Amino acid sequence: MSFLTGAFLFGALAIAAPLLFHLIRRTPKARYEFSSLMFLKPSPPKLTRRSRLDQWLLLLLRALAILLLAFAFMRPYLRTEAELSLNDAPQRHIAILIDRSASMRRGDLWDNAVAKVEEALDGLESTDLVSLFAYDEKLEMLITPETAGGVDRAERRELVREQLQSLKPTWGASDLGGALLGVAERLQSADDMQQTHAALQILLVSDLQAGSQLDALQMSEWPESVRVDVRSVAPEEVGNARVRLVAAAESDVDQAPRVRVRNAAGSSVEQFEVVWSDGQTDQSRAVSFYVPPGESLVLEVPVEPGGLAPDRVQLRGDSSGMDFDDTYYQVPAIQEQIKLAYFGDDAASDPEQMLFYLTRAFDETPARKVDIESIAGDEMPNWEFDAKPRFAVIADSLSAAQQTGIDRYLEAGGDALVVLRNDEMVGQLGSWLGGVTSASAQPKASGPQSYALLGTIDFQHPLLAPFAGARYNDFTKIRFWRHRRVDLDKDDGAVVIARFTDNSPALWSIARGEGTLYVISSGWNRDDSQLALSTKFIPLLSRWLELATRDGLAEQSYVVNQPAPLPVASEERIVTTPDGKPIKVAAEETTFTATSVPGIYTLTDGTQAMKFAVNVADAESEVEPLDLGQLEQFRVPLGVAPSQAAQLDQMRQLRDAELESRQKIWKWLVVAVLGLLGLETLLGAFRSRQPVQVAGDLA
Amino acid sequence: MSSAANRSTGHPRQGASLIDPGSLMRIKNLELRARAIVEGFLSGLHRSPYHGFSVEFTEYRQYSPGDDPRFLDWKLYGRSDRYFIKCFEDETNLRCHLLVDLSRSMNFGTVGYNKAEYAKTAAATVAYFLQQQRDAVGLLTFDDAIVDVIPPRFRTGHIHHIMMSLERAPAGTGTDIEKPLEQIAATVAKRGVVVLISDLLTPIGALQKNLSYLRARGHEVVILRVLDPREVDFRFDQAAMFHDIESGRDIYVDPSEAREQYLASFGEHADSLQTICNQLGIELHTITIERPLELMLFNLLTERMSRGAKVRQRGSAGGAV
């Protein structure tokens, strides 16, 4: 016989109550003083006989009823099945997930994190299975759940310890959501594969900084069977400051570079210095900043004139151990001189002409200066090496020499745009353009309704790809008063990028050698269209310039682990990392992915060297503690999975409860109690009819 | 007793003339209480139609040989030429001993005052009444021992001594009626009237012996038995612990069950007492304390008068007093 709730046995102590009441006689409350008791004899309740049990049968019945009731409350049952063994309970599978993002470089965070993992390893049960993961923005599986088969559990723990010793924090940002989800899925799939039905647990060791990305959790459903036990590590210093270069506006050509210093909330330091440096020595005077905690400040930090071009801004005065984000790298700003050729006899000052708008489209910026070379007449300048323009706009009929020169330019990789301003140009350049014939001339519109719009636009084409977004793809406000209706020779490889609403080609491209020839069948002068006045005009021209820069880098600044797009090349290139290590990049590679360290990288393509900067992600500098409530909002169950012994205990309790509910012995006991109470009532009633002497003697 | 008493054949007017004992007990001064009762009682007497007729017959006696010639009334002899003995003053002047029981059992009372208070008032009343009639009154108070003894006197201020002695609070425990009776018998040579005021809740045996002894010494004994109504009817509404005031003993008694037995025992005791009194020629007046004191005095005097008449009749028949 076993019991479900043995504590109710104490209820049996209530037997003492009837016994006590039985023995304690009721002392009469009334009291009279009387002159003499010589004529009185005491009535039966005799105070001298308090301790004798008179109604032992009643007492026995009452005590038995209480005993049986206590027994029923203990929920007795008969244990008939075999005992459960430890093997019946599911084991635990614990995936240790350690944060090794750049923020873990602060102070002694990393050592603390490793110590926490080792402490957790020491506290595991012998049956627990362990795997090890590390994450920054990528999840790295160091000891995977699938390798459980071959290796002994104790050996796995030693493997985990060894891996931990070799592990170091990286410069990457932390994608906590992705890492958690990845580990959870791996745990679940491994559990499904091995059919172990283990209790799945992620042991997260991290600084849990506010900049951790949790977006992945929002997009996917968290597997309910996986619990997350968070062991956070925190540095002694709570503050952190960071420095970033503020992008200069295009109009601020002559302004000194500006930097933004942001101080974390709760920081103990407020006074900072910022200085330009080349990695060896300071290249400018230090500028002092007073930034209160939780605020940011933008100030100019001028570069010393005449010195070497500094490539980094350094922040000084940050809390100790918080210097991982105190340097911001920037490729020294060199203004690019871009030449653009314009074939046509337009006057740059005439607003009716196209050149007027073209010259005003490219303002000078610190990064770029566009010079437009206007070529009138039949001459063809000699474009050799650096003298050749980045892009050519042909707005007039070309002479034979010019056609030959342009052909050579295109073959060498140059890009050109032909604007068909009139039907004569179509006739003269039709064959050179590859079979363009005039369909019929579009008369100048006389009414407001007589205009054409771009009807079909190929946003997949590299030229218009930047306009593909919903905010930018509205071309309906650009009205074309006149355009040339042409037919294209389909065999010539012309790719139509846009068509007018009458289905005639508006813009198309033709590959010529290394270069590309674009043709547009309407001009941006006021007689032809509103294109020059639209918001699309300058981005479109800039895009032509970008596409023409085939041998240059698209951008010069990236964050750690962000792939840097490489220019097309025909042979192997070398990227030199900030620590001077050369990495070979095959010719067909379009991106460089080994941007694992912040600093200045140098891409060497033949004789040409291009630099790009890699910095620590901004989010990594947000070191305020993350609210764990966010994890709970994504329905991530926090807490420790029950150990095998605890689960076994729980199973045993469940089984016992089930047995008890099946047998329901307590019901019979309650029936017996009712029977006893009935008997007691009958006996009590019978006794109360007895002589009065005993009536007062009962409890 | 006194001449005034002997003259009275009526009874006090019922109703207005009777003083409620509860109101009376609120008067603190015992002498005032006694005076209020006696004066009311006397005024009742004055209205008696038989007032003053029996003086001559009882106060003069014809001379017989052997009588002391000093007591001859020569004035009467001068008028009537017969010898009369003026024996009146000497014979009728009473020496009265008031024996008042002040034991703890007398502290019991359920009508707003207790038996002791009633007994003291009764004693004071009798003393005052006798004092008014120029009789000598003495007092002996007792509980388990004799407390105060005041010999009978008739002089100015004596009554105050008696009153002060009566007003003293009782302090004893049990009732030992033997000692006071023995002492009276031993010390009082002159015969007189002994008025015992007590509840007599004592064993009959001892009482009988001492009363007999007292009677044997020639004393006339009058017993005023003072009881609380509850002692007589034993009406208690619920079972309770009964505490004996004298002994301090507690017993549990259910009155509904014990009443019959109590009344039987009590009645038996009372009957035995009455029998003894009858045998010894003792007047026994039983009175419950809620009854007016005038009635007590009236009964006492009526009884005395009827006894006096009987004595006189016997005297005239046999000549012996």
CA–CA dist B139, B151 (Å, integer): 6
For B266, the closest chain A residue by CA position comes to A39
Q: How confident is the model at residue B309 (pLDDT cuts 50, 70, 90)?
A: low
pLDDT above 50 for B316: no
Enter the tokens of residue A255: 């302004």
Which pLDDT value is given to residue A184? 92
Which pLDDT value is given to residue A54? 67
Q: Which of A263, A298, A330 is the last residue of a domain?
A: A330
Any B CB within 8 A of A80 CB: no
pLDDT above 70 for B305: no
Q: Are B140 and B152 in contact (CB under 8 A)?
A: no
The CA angle A340-A343-A345, to the nearest 5 degrees, is 125
CA–CA dist A498, A519 (Å, integer): 11
pLDDT above 60 for B55: no
Q: Of B231, B252, B269, which has the smallest distance from its Cβ to A42's Cβ? A: B252
Torsion of CA A596, A601, A603, A609, to 10 degrees: 180
- Tell if the CB–CB gap between A40 and B236 is shorter than 8 Å: no
CA–CA dist A153, A129 (Å, integer): 6
Mind telling me how many Å the CA of B97 is from chain A's nearest CA?
25
Which pLDDT value is given to residue B321? 30
CA–CA dist B285, B126 (Å, integer): 14
Which pLDDT value is given to residue A203? 93
CA–CA dist B195, B285 (Å, integer): 11
- Tell if the CB–CB gap between A34 and B199 is shorter than 8 Å: no
Which pLDDT value is given to residue B60? 65
Same domain, yes or no, for A433 and A510? yes
Same domain, yes or no, for A161 and A226? yes
Please report whether residue A47 resides in a domain.
Answer: no
Which pLDDT value is given to residue A28? 62
CA–CA dist A29, A363 (Å, integer): 112
Q: Are B295 and B287 in contact (CB under 8 A)?
A: yes
Mind telling me how many Å the CA of B179 is from chain A's nearest CA?
20
CA–CA dist A70, A9 (Å, integer): 6
Please report whether residue A696 resides in a domain.
Answer: no
Same domain, yes or no, for A149 and A19? no
- Tell if the CB–CB gap between A34 and B244 is shorter than 8 Å: yes
Same domain, yes or no, for A225 and A253? no
For the full predicted model, state whether its pTM sits above 0.90: no
Taking Cα atoms as reference points, which of A483, A475, A494 lies closest to residue A434? Answer: A494
Q: Which of B199, B233, B253 has the most A C-beta neighbours within 10 Å, making it the best mutation to test the interface with A? A: B253
Please report whether residue B67 resides in a domain.
Answer: no
Taking Cα atoms as reference points, which of B59, B148, B58 lies closest to residue B98? Answer: B148
Helix (H) or strand (E) holding A495: strand A495-500
Q: Of B249, B250, B269, which has the smallest distance from its Cβ to A39's Cβ? A: B269
- Tell if the CB–CB gap between B241 and A32 is shorter than 8 Å: yes
**Environment class of residue B308 by beta-carbon count within 10 Å: exposed (0-12), middle (13-18) or buried (19+)?**
middle
Q: Is the dihedral of CA B184, B190, B196, B202 positive or negative?
A: positive
Q: Which of A501, A528, A548 is the last residue of a domain?
A: A548
- Tell me, letter by letter, the H, E, C secondary structure of B232-263: HHCCCCCCEEEEECCCCCEEEECHHHHHHHHH
Q: How confident is the model at residue B170 (pLDDT cuts 50, 70, 90)?
A: low
β-partners of residue A301 are none
Which pLDDT value is given to residue B165? 87
Please report whether residue B52 resides in a domain.
Answer: no
Which pLDDT value is given to residue A29? 67
Any B CB within 8 A of A490 CB: no
Q: Which of A29, A35, A46, A693 has the most B C-beta neighbours within 10 Å, making it the best mutation to test the interface with B? A: A35
Which pLDDT value is given to residue A253? 57
Mind telling me how many Å the CA of B252 is from chain A's nearest CA?
5
- Could you tell me the residue range of the domain that residue B226 belongs to? 95-308
**Lowest mean per-residue pLDDT among A135-149, B16-30, B42-56:** B42-56
Look at residue A126 and give its three-state secondary structure. coil
**Lowest mean per-residue pLDDT among A286-290, A363-367, B12-16, B107-111:** B12-16
Which pLDDT value is given to residue A205? 94
CA–CA dist A230, A561 (Å, integer): 26
CA–CA dist A542, A370 (Å, integer): 11
- Tell if the CB–CB gap between A32 and B242 is shorter than 8 Å: yes
Q: Are A497 and A510 in contact (CB under 8 A)?
A: no
Q: Are A176 and A213 in contact (CB under 8 A)?
A: yes
Enter the tokens of residue B189: 């040579």
Look at residue A19 and give its three-state secondary structure. helix
Q: Which residues of chain A have pLDDT under 70?
A: 22-29, 44-54, 80-87, 147-150, 248-254, 306-308, 333, 385-386, 440-449, 490-491, 550-554, 689-699
- Tell if the CB–CB gap between B257 and A35 is shorter than 8 Å: no
Lookup result for tokens 């009155």? B255
β-partners of residue A129 are A93
- Tell me, letter by letter, the H, E, C secondary structure of A155-220: HHHHHHHHHHHHCCCCCCCCCHHHHHHHHHHHHHHHHHHHCCCCEEEEEEEECCECCCCCHHHHHC
How many angstroms from the chain centroid is the CA of residue B60? 28
- Domains identified in chain B, total number: 1
Taking Cα atoms as reference points, which of B213, B162, B184, B229 lies closest to residue B22? Answer: B229
CA–CA dist A516, B79 (Å, integer): 194
- Tell if the CB–CB gap between B244 and A37 is shorter than 8 Å: yes
Mean pLDDT on B124-142: 85
Any B CB within 8 A of A43 CB: yes
CA–CA dist B1, B309 (Å, integer): 11
Mean pLDDT on B274-298: 88
Same domain, yes or no, for A124 and A144? yes
Please report whether residue A114 resides in a domain.
Answer: yes
Domain holding B137: CATH number? 3.40.50.410
Enter the tokens of residue A158: 């030693």
- Tell if the CB–CB gap between B258 and A45 is shorter than 8 Å: no
Same domain, yes or no, for A245 and A288? yes
- Domains identified in chain A, total number: 5
CA distances from B173 to B41, B228, B252 (A): 35, 19, 22
Mind telling me how many Å the CA of B244 is from chain A's nearest CA?
5
CA–CA dist B88, A187 (Å, integer): 139
Any B CB within 8 A of A40 CB: yes
For B236, the closest chain A residue by CA position comes to A32
Same domain, yes or no, for A226 and A245? no
β-partners of residue A336 are A368
Mind telling me how many Å the CA of A31 is from chain B's nearest CA?
5
B-proximal residues of A, 4-33, CB under 8 Å: 27-33
Mind telling me how many Å the CA of A687 is from chain B's nearest CA?
19
Q: Which residues contact B300 (CB under 8 A, 6 or more apart)?
A: B126, B222, B224, B283, B285
- Could you tell me the residue range of the domain that residue A636 belongs to? 86-234+625-643
Q: Which amino acid is at A696?
A: G
Which pLDDT value is given to residue B8? 37
Q: Which comes out higher in pLDDT, residue A190 or B273? A: B273
Q: Of A38, A39, A43, which has the smallest distance from its Cβ to B254's Cβ? A: A43
For A35, the closest chain B residue by CA position comes to B105
CA–CA dist A548, A126 (Å, integer): 65
Chain A hits for B242, Cβ within 8 Å: 32-34, 37, 40
Same domain, yes or no, for A274 and A385? no
Report the mean per-residue pLDDT for chain A: 83
Mind telling me how many Å the CA of A27 is from chain B's nearest CA?
9
Same domain, yes or no, for A264 and A293? yes
- Tell if the CB–CB gap between B239 and A30 is shorter than 8 Å: yes
Q: How confident is the model at residue B171 (pLDDT cuts 50, 70, 90)?
A: low
- Tell if the CB–CB gap between B239 and A32 is shorter than 8 Å: no
H helices, E strands: number in chain B? 13, 10
CA–CA dist A328, A310 (Å, integer): 11
For A29, the closest chain B residue by CA position comes to B240
Q: Of B240, B246, B266, which has the smallest distance from its Cβ to A32's Cβ? A: B240
Same domain, yes or no, for A163 and A201? yes
CA–CA dist A424, B160 (Å, integer): 167
Chain A hits for B241, Cβ within 8 Å: 27-28, 30-32
Same domain, yes or no, for A127 and A219? yes
Same domain, yes or no, for A105 and A136? yes
Enter the tokens of residue B6: 């002997």
Q: Of B203, B228, B238, which has the smallest distance from its Cβ to A30's Cβ? A: B238
Backbone angles phi, psi at B249, to 5 degrees: -80, 145
- Tell if the CB–CB gap between A40 and B258 is shorter than 8 Å: yes
Chain B hits for A29, Cβ within 8 Å: 240
Q: Which of A37, A692, A694, A697 has the most B C-beta neighbours within 10 Å, making it the best mutation to test the interface with B? A: A37
Q: Of A33, A36, A46, which has the smallest distance from its Cβ to B201's Cβ? A: A36
- Tell me, letter by letter, the H, E, C secondary structure of A255-303: CCCEEEEEECCCCCCCEEEEEEECCCCECCCCEEEECCCCCEEEEECCC
Which pLDDT value is given to residue B310? 60
Mind telling me how many Å the CA of B320 is from chain A's nearest CA?
43
How many angstroms from the chain centroid is the CA of residue A292? 29
| A432-442 confidence digits (pLDDT tens) | 888 888 776 55
Domain holding A496: CATH number? 3.40.50.880
**Inter-chain CB pairs, A–B, below 8 Å:** 84
Please report whether residue B133 resides in a domain.
Answer: yes
Q: With b meaning 16 or more CB within 10 Å and e meaning fewer, what string describes B3-21?
A: bbbbbbbbbbeeeeebbeb
**Lowest mean per-residue pLDDT among A345-359, A622-636, B235-249, B281-295:** B235-249
Q: Are B137 and B194 in contact (CB under 8 A)?
A: no
CA–CA dist A270, A264 (Å, integer): 10
Q: Which of B173, B244, B247, B271 has the most A C-beta neighbours within 10 Å, making it the best mutation to test the interface with A? A: B244
- Looking at residue B66, the DSSP 8-state letter turns out to be T
Please report whether residue B109 resides in a domain.
Answer: yes
Please report whether residue B30 resides in a domain.
Answer: no
Please report whether residue A564 resides in a domain.
Answer: yes
Enter the tokens of residue B241: 């612990």
Please report whether residue B83 resides in a domain.
Answer: no
Please report whether residue A652 resides in a domain.
Answer: no
Enter the tokens of residue A647: 């689960």
Please report whether residue B214 resides in a domain.
Answer: yes
For B247, the closest chain A residue by CA position comes to A36
Taking Cα atoms as reference points, which of A376, A379, A506 lies closest to residue A436? Answer: A506
Beta-carbon count within 10 A of B54 CB: 16
CA distances from A120 to A86, A198, A205, A647, A662 (A): 22, 18, 10, 19, 42
Mind telling me how many Å the CA of A697 is from chain B's nearest CA?
12
Any B CB within 8 A of A48 CB: no
